[in-house]
Amino acid sequence: MELWFTEKHTPEVKFSIKVDRQLYSGRSEFQRIDIFDSKEFGRFLTLDGYMMLTEKDEFIYHEMITHVPMAVHPNPKNILVIGAGDGGVIRELTNYNSVENIDLVEIDELVVEVSKKYLPVTACRFDDKRLNIFYEDGVKFIRRCENKYDVIIVDSTDPFGVGEGLFTKEFYGSCYNALHDDGIMVNQHESPFYDEDAIAMQRTHKRITSSFPISKVYQAHIPTYPSGHWLFGFASKKYHPIHDLNPSAWNLLGIKTRYYNTRLHAGAFALPNYVEELLKDVE
Ligand code: AG3
């Protein structure tokens, strides 16, 4: 018998991973949650059938969404993380001694519970004393915040379903207000490759660009996401993602990474021409 997980990347393209065993399947008030085990990618988490992370390539996503803003901000103390119930971003953030407080806002408590049970690779720092978890809609939570955070990391699902509100103009405006005068917001920015994804990616970029004075995009290679070519948004009130990076300061922290380094940091903002054009079209 063969068991396969398949995600439809477009109506014409499917991506499949051979499954060894299904470890968990459940439904929360918000979504369907599944955990599988596989030979090639280890354990993986899907929400409503969409790949969120695999043990084999999650380090790329979590390091890139976390260390890029953390290396640019000279003294990040108060951090807000939205989504991210699997714990991957928290694991990376807790490496920073400068961080005094992390607020994690995850709408779905069951994602955290299931991750704690089945994904020890990412859900390994939920006991950090600096962490406060709020089980709440990020869109509502952030409306109440003003001039509070140094860095906001938006680790959302795709721009439909539960995560839709995290891609709206209203939400980005609230993020702007929630940040200090030198604050940085980073979000998962979807893929530029398939037409439908590219349109969603452009829409997102347009909304962020109209809310923040500095809005750049950087890329990483994430094998298990549609096309494998993934983007992140870097939106900031003051700091430029490359000019304000202090490589030696970050390297002195001695944080161990498998993907991110300060040379790659600058390189990640060098985008292919077709992506630059997509972005320019909406700027
Ligand atoms: N966030 C989801 C990225 C989007 C993946 N999209 C897809 N497979 N269609 C990942 C959360 C990891 N902490």
Q: How confident is the model at residue 161 (pLDDT cuts 50, 70, 90)?
A: confident
CA dist 65 and 62 (Å) reads: 5
Average pLDDT over residues 184-196: 97
Strand 13-19 and strand 21-27: the pairing is unpaired
Instruction: With a cut of 90, say whether residue 236 has pLDDT above it.
Output: yes
Check residue 95 and give its pLDDT: 98
pLDDT in tens, 102-131: 999 999 999 999 999 999 999 999 999 999
* 107 CA to centre of ligand 1 in angstroms: 15
Check residue 225 and give its pLDDT: 98
pTM greater than 0.95 = yes
* 158 CA to centre of ligand 1 in angstroms: 6
Instruction: With a cut of 90, say whether residue 256 has pLDDT above it.
Output: yes
Average pLDDT over residues 39-62: 98
* 59 CA to centre of ligand 1 in angstroms: 13
Residue of 36, 121, 158 with the most ligand 1 atoms within 8 Å of its CB, for mutation: 158
CA dist 204 and 169 (Å) reads: 8
CB-based contact 64:58 (threshold 8 Å) = no
By annotation, the residues acting in catalysis are 155
CB-based contact 226:193 (threshold 8 Å) = yes
* 51 CA to centre of ligand 1 in angstroms: 6
Pocket flag, ligand 1, residue 197 (CB < 6 Å): no
Atom of ligand 1 nearest to the CA of 46: 8
Pocket flag, ligand 1, residue 155 (CB < 6 Å): yes
pLDDT in tens, 70-104: 999 999 999 999 999 999 999 999 999 999 999 99
Check residue 247 and give its pLDDT: 98
CA dist 263 and 12 (Å) reads: 37
If you average pLDDT over every residue of the chain, what do you get? 97
pLDDT > 90: percent of the chain: 99
Q: How many CB atoms lie within 10 A of CB 36?
A: 24
CA dist 196 and 10 (Å) reads: 8
Q: In this structure, what token pair is assigned to residue 219?
A: 């890329």
Check residue 67 and give its pLDDT: 98
